[in-house]
């Protein structure tokens, strides 16, 4: 569903943020992307979702090149950045409707999905209010509902659990598993190693722009905890 093929990104000024990254996220995967601050996680994610151009390597979504068929790639992808910039002057419902409009979600499906996800994230009473009046967690939940409203085949999340209360975190994990059971794929970055260890069937660890480990969670961590493996790889 998502494949990085020798992807590299060098910023103006010469900083090589990602160096020959290759990894593949298949349908049904919950793929955790782990690395220290500045390791290149967000660069890789922004390139995959089309927010950052690149010249070296290739990124494919559903077999299509994000460079050659960007709109088709985006049409099956949902992306939630670590700090979603929602429009504070819109109501939660207006924002979700905007996203649903752009993705062409039919009214009946829209209503059913919004009702379901709003209930799951306990947002039914709040969607009529202005986003500017929401807490960080409520904004995160609104972004999640908007992401899920168009039933994406690929969900890309940058630090999705930051700001969510324990119940919402639990709900999100359940939804992620449900989406993957339905054949979607999820690729997300996180610093919470315990979550990655328990939730992900595959994990990649990136250090200074280079992939240092990737594969099935069990294979990557072996008999150790993910934290031990991560610290060992990062300190090496």
Q: What is the contact surface with another protein in residues (CB under 8 A)?
A: 11-15, 46, 49-53, 70-72, 74-75, 77-79, 81, 84-85, 87-91, 94, 98-99, 101-103, 128-130, 132-133
C-beta closer to another protein: residue 32 or 84: 84
Q: How far is the CB of 133 from another protein (least distance, A)?
A: 7
Q: How far is the CB of 77 from another protein (least distance, A)?
A: 7
Q: How far is the CB of 22 from another protein (least distance, A)?
A: 22
C-beta closer to another protein: residue 14 or 222: 14
- What are the DSSP calls for 194-218, one per residue? HHHHHH-SEEEEEETTEEEEEEEHH
C-beta closer to another protein: residue 53 or 218: 53
C-beta closer to another protein: residue 28 or 81: 81
Q: How far is the CB of 228 from another protein (least distance, A)?
A: 31
Q: How far is the CB of 68 from another protein (least distance, A)?
A: 13
C-beta closer to another protein: residue 54 or 230: 54
Q: Provide the sign of the torsion angle of the four alpha carbons 58, 62, 63, 68, taken in this order.
A: negative
């Amino acid at each position: 569903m998502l494949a990085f093929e020798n992807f590299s990104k060098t910023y103006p000024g010469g900083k090589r943020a990602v160096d020959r990254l290759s990894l593949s996220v298949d349908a049904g995967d919950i793929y955790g992307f782990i690395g220290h601050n500045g390791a290149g996680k967000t660069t890789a994610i922004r390139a995959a979702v089309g927010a950052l151009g690149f010249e070296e390597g290739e990124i494919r979504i559903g077999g299509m090149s994000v460079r050659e068929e960007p709109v088709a790639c985006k049409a099956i992808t949902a992306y939630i950045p670590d700090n979603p910039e929602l429009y504070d002057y819109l109501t939660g419902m207006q924002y979700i409707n905007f996203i649903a409009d752009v993705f062409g979600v039919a009214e009946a499906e829209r209503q059913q999905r919004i009702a379901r996800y709003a209930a799951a994230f306990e947002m039914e009473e709040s969607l009529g209010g202005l986003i500017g009046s929401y807490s960080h967690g409520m904004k995160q939940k609104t972004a999640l509902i908007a992401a899920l409203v168009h039933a994406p085949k690929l969900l890309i999340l940058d630090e999705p659990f930051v700001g969510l209360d324990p119940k919402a975190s639990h709900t999100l994990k359940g939804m992620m598993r449900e989406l993957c059971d339905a054949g979607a794929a999820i690729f997300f970055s996180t610093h919470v190693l315990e979550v990655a260890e328990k939730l992900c069937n595959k994990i990649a660890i990136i250090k200074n722009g280079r992939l240092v480990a990737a594969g099935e969670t069990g294979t990557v961590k072996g008999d150790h905890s993910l934290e031990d493996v991560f610290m060992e790889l990062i300190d090496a």
